[in-house]
Amino acid sequence: MDALELKYLPKMWSDCFSGKINSLLELELILYHKFAKSPDTGLNFRRFYRLFEPLFLNLSHQYFSKLSDNFFENRFFQIAQKKKLKNFLASSQKIIVLKGPIDLAHGKVLEKQISNLNELEKSKVRLFLIDYVPSSEFVVNNTLGVPIFALGDITALKDRYAIIAFAIYLLSHHSGNKSEVIWWGIPFGIVFTYSLSEIFIKKLDKAKDFSGTQIKRSLLTVKHHYSFSKIYLDRIYTSTPLVKGFEQIFCPEISVFKPSFYCKEDLLPGQLGNSENNKFNKIARLLRQKKEENCLIFSSVSRSEKTCGREYLVTVRQILSNVQNSIFLCFGRSLPDEYTELAKDFGSNRVIFLGWLTPSVTISVIQFLDLFLDSYPFGAGMTFASAGYQGIPIVSTKDFVNDSPSSVSILYYYFKKNIFSNMSGSLSEMLFGTSSTMAARSVALLQSPDQIQSLGQETRSLIKAVFNDQSSLLRVSKK
C-alpha cells in the first residue's frame, strides 16, 4: 500500500484540482484491485477507502460546481429525463445499486434476497445496474421480478453516478415515505454518489442538512466495516459483525442481517453450458480416476493468490506428508511460485492445478472433495457454503474471524451467541479450532472415513440452517 500513498495519491490529488473527475472515478477500480486486494484483507480495504474518502468527497463538490446554473440543461439531467427516471421511481421505497456483474457471489445474495420478497414488497424495490446496457440479455430477460434501470449505455461514469445521486434526491421527496438506497456489495462509486446526493438535497432544496430527509443511505458488505464514515453513509448491513476497524466515532450504524445468501441451486451442482460441460467432464474424469485409486482429495477451492501464504501452505504440506494418498487441488488464473514449488516437492499427480473455472463448474468440482480446507487468513465465502451444503466436512479456524470476514466468521458469530445448541463438540472443533492445529485436525479427519461422513452430514444441516433461510433485508412496509 505504500506505493499508493507515495506514488499515486499525490498525482491523483493534482488531477483532482485539475478537474479530471471521470478518469479518477475510473481509476478507483484499477487501484482497488492493485492495492486493496493485495493482500485481500479487511484491513487493506479500510486503509484504502480512508485514503480515498476525502478525494471522492472533493470530486462530488467539483462535479456539482461544474453544472450549469440552469440545472435542467445539464447532460445527466437530460439523460435521466430521456430514460424517464422519475416514472421509474414511482411507488418505490428501496433502491438497490450494483456495480459490476451480477453473476458473482454478491449478485447471488441479491437474487436470493429479492426472491424472498412477496409481490407487494417487490413492487416497491428498484434496481440500478451501473455497468449493464439496456439491451443486454440479463436486462431484457429480467427474471428478478423488480424493475431494472440500466446505466451502461451512458459514456461517462461520473454521469452514471450522478443519475443515481439524482434518483436519491427524487426519492427523498416521496411524501411520508421512509425510503432507502442500498449500495450492494462492491463499493465503487459509493462515496462520490452518496456525497453528490447530499449536495443535491442541500443545494436544490436549500435544506439545512441531509439527516433531515426521509431517505437512508446504506451499504451491504462483508469486508468494508469502518471503511466509510457517517458523513454520507447512514447504515451498514453486514452478516459478519465481529469485524473490527478504525475509530468508531464517525461510524455509521451497524445493522446485522441474517445471512440468507443462497438458494440451494446456488450451492449444488447444476446445469452447465456446453463449454462449461466440456471443462467439467475433463476434470471429472481425472478426479474419478483418483477416487478409484483410493486417493483423498482436499482443497480450499479458492484462487491460488488467496492461498499462497506461508502458514497456509505449511498446513497443506503437513497434510500431504502425513496422508500419503492425499491430493490437493488448486485454482486460479496462474500458478504462483509457491505452488510451483509445492508441485515440485510432492509431484504434479498430488498437487493438481485446475485453472480458472466459472462458479458453476467450481460448485460441480466440490462434490469430489473428501475435505474442504478453509483458506486463511482470508477465509472462503460461497465455496465454503457450497462444500458444507454438499456434505463435505470443513476444517477451518476462528483465529481470523475479526480480521477477514468470511463464512466461518458468520458461523462463529452465531456460535458465540449460543445459537447452535445442538452442535457436536467434534464439529465445533473442526470449524473453530486454532490455525496451528488445522493440519493435525485435517489429517485425523482424512484418516477416519466414518467421521468424514458424520461430520459432513452435520455440516450440511448447519449450512442449510444459516445460509438458506427465507429472510430478506429488502422487506418494505406495506403502506
Could you tell me the pLDDT band of residue 455, with boundaries at 50, 70 and 90? Answer: very high
The more confidently predicted of residues 258 and 328 is 328
Cα 361 to Cα 359: distance, rounded to the nearest angstrom = 6
pTM of the model: 0.67
Residue 221 is which amino acid?
T
The pLDDT, as a whole number, for residue 105 is 75
C-alpha cell recorded at residue 122: 417487490
The proportion of the chain whose per-residue pLDDT surpasses 90, expressed as a percent, equals 48
Closest CA to 99 of 214, 191, 179: 191
**Count of CB atoms within 10 A of residue 119's CB?**
7
Is residue 103's pLDDT more than 50?
yes
- What average pLDDT does this structure show over 390-395? 95
| Residue 12 pLDDT class (50, 70, 90 cuts) | very high
Q: What is the predicted pLDDT for the residue at 222?
A: 67
- pLDDT higher at 92 or 309: 92
For 296, the 3-state DSSP assignment is: strand
Does residue 168 contact residue 189 with C-beta atoms inside 8 Å? no
pLDDT at 42 (0 to 100): 65
Distance of CA 305 to the CA centre of its chain: 17
Domains of the chain: 58-256 (3.40.50), 269-467 (3.40.50.2000)
Q: Are 410 and 109 in contact (CB under 8 A)?
A: no
Dump pLDDT digits (tens) for 188-201.
Answer: 999 999 999 999 98
- Residues 338/354/108/234 CA torsion (nearest 10 deg): 10
Residue 148 above 90 pLDDT? yes
Judge whether residue 208 has pLDDT over 50: no
User: What is the reported pLDDT for 342?
Assistant: 92
Q: Which helix (H) or strand (E) holds 127?
A: strand 125-129
Give how far Cα 70 sits from Cα of 153, 173, 310, 339, Å: 25, 20, 60, 60
For a pLDDT cut of 70, what percent of the chain falls above it? 87
Tens-digit pLDDT profile for residues 161-185: 999 999 999 988 765 557 899 999 8
- Within 10 A of 293 (CB to CB), how many other CB atoms are there? 10
Helix (H, G, I), strand (E, B) or coil at 350: coil
For residue 426, the SS3 value is helix
Strand, coil or helix: 60: helix
